[in-house]
Structure 1
Amino acid sequence: MLAQQWLKNARDVMTRIEETQMDNIRIAAEIMADSIEAGRWVHTFGCGHATIPIEEMYPRIGGFVGFHPMVELPLTFFTRITGEMGVHQFVFLERVEGYGVEIMKGYTFDTRDTMWLFSHTGINNVNIDVALEAKKKGMKVIVFGSAAEAVGKKTRHSSGKTIFDIADHVVDSCAPIADASVDLKNHQDKVGPVSTMAFITCVWMTVTTVAEILADRGVKLFIHPSHNVPGDDTAKERLEDCLAEYKRRIAGV
């Protein structure tokens, strides 16, 4: 059954992440923990389906303050598929050099911040713009993507670099470069992509490691609680504390 084939493929990717990326995840988590402990941000950015790991980590139950989602609506798929902000426009925009520079103008950064970028292939211009601008501003740049599989792919950016070339540190998502992983009879294209699952796996392995590091350092985390658990009378108060801390950091206090 193709369902079982996809499940095997997904498990194989998760196994490769565990077998090959634990040290890289730890290094990334240490860098992020330093930013959060300093009262600063781990900014997160991606395009298309690479926005899903960003929305998964914060805000959500079990996530904590310190991760700042930078989600540019025209660069997501949470829009119309055709018509306004459709797929044609998205494919065009993510390849427009300079667009990422303009996106970065909308935020305030600090040299203590970390920029965490998600890019499957690492060749599109918006992500590269953001990475280059982050480096100019003195931030550490961490990139998650299919780094080994993307070796040899030609960048679309005039810098001549892929996002993996720019990064201070890379975690390989271990997903196949074609993404879709299951052959379908009578069809050229495969079905069953695994890159999103790979990203989410890497995200929670990293974020939980950041939490572990900060807890060991004695840093208080503002963790979003579940407000759906019967008998938890302080969940609403804890959520308000999280949002208050987020607002405090955004204000630069």
Structure 2
Amino acid sequence: MFEYMDAIRKQLGLLEDKNKEELEKVSKLIGDAIMDDKLIHVLGTGHSHMIGLELFIRAGTLANVNTILDSTVTTADGAIRSSKLERISGIADVLWEEQAIENGDLVIVISNSGRNALPIEFAMRAKKEGHTVVVLTSLEQSKKYPSRHSSSKKLYELGDIVLDNCVPAGDGLLEVNGIQTGAPSTISGMALLHTAVTEGMKIAAKNGAKLPVYASQNIDGYSNSELYEKYQGRIKHM
């Protein structure tokens, strides 16, 4: 009945088909992070920050996730401003040094276009520091347009594992009066990461790990105090 919902159902099937092997690899990394008490650091710029926010301190998600929510990467202080800041070289190092990123932590970088300086340089810094880097991007869009970074690199070229959100260039599944619309990138990104996280939980649980998962604060009889205390100081925006 609704064209967008039909398109999203097809999109979810495409995501699974295109990313099966990559999802298995990322799930293993997340399972290892749980078992080894390591953090999962997530950076997304512009609207991509919402994908990281989806994993951050909410019911049913892992507590060992540090999503980077500085105003430079969100639209909180102005959408146009954040778009400009994303293209400026040097900001990634500032953000990196403000996080408590330790050896063995996993780094996930999200950018639909994968062409701007901030996510590219954050991935570069992570690689330099010896971290495994998971990239979530649109391969179609990223390969279609040139990098805006001085290295000429694009984000997908820096990932140890690349999750493809299978989003067409322009981020729209529909066309209305000749105008591309019906953005799928946020839903696609969230679906991919929730899949990897829940599969990672299953791996850790099978190996006897206690899962650090937040309960809903709106259900009586549950408390997250133990998790808050455990990760206080390790997660900047807690």
| Length-normalised TM-score, structure 2 | 0.92
Which residue pairs with 1:31 in the alignment? 29
Structure with higher Rg: it is 1
1:93-142 deviation digits (Å, cap 9, x = unpaired):
11111111221121232230111111111111100010001111111100
Which residue pairs with 1:219 in the alignment? 209
One-letter code aligned to 1:189: I
Q: 1:198 aligns with which of 188, 197, 200?
A: 188
SS in 1 for 2:72: helix
Summarize the Cα distance change of 1:88–1:149 in structure 2 as closer, same or farther, 3 Å threshold. closer
Percent identity between the aligned chains?
25
Q: 1:155 aligns with which of 147, 170, 174?
A: 147
- Give the distance between the partners of 1:148 and 1:21, measured in 2 at CA: 14
| 8 Å Cα contact 1:100/1:127 also seen in 2 | yes
Deviation at 1:91, TM superposition (A): 1.8
Summarize the Cα distance change of 1:190–1:73 in structure 2 as closer, same or farther, 3 Å threshold. same
Kindly report which structure 2 residues correspond to 1:89-168, keeping only aligned pairs within 5 A, or say none: 89-168=81-160
| 8 Å Cα contact 1:47/1:119 also seen in 2 | yes
Deviation at 1:250, TM superposition (A): 4.9
Question: Structure 1: which 5+ runs fail to align?
Answer: 80-84
| 8 Å Cα contact 2:51/2:190 also seen in 1 | yes
| 8 Å Cα contact 1:65/1:245 also seen in 2 | no
Is 2:168 aligned against 1:176?
A: yes
| 8 Å Cα contact 1:40/1:113 also seen in 2 | yes
One-letter code aligned to 1:71: L
Taking only aligned residues, the RMSD between alpha carbons, in angstroms, comes to: 1.8
Instruction: State the aligned residue count.
Output: 236
- Give the distance between the partners of 2:69 and 2:113, measured in 1 at CA: 19
| Length-normalised TM-score, structure 1 | 0.87
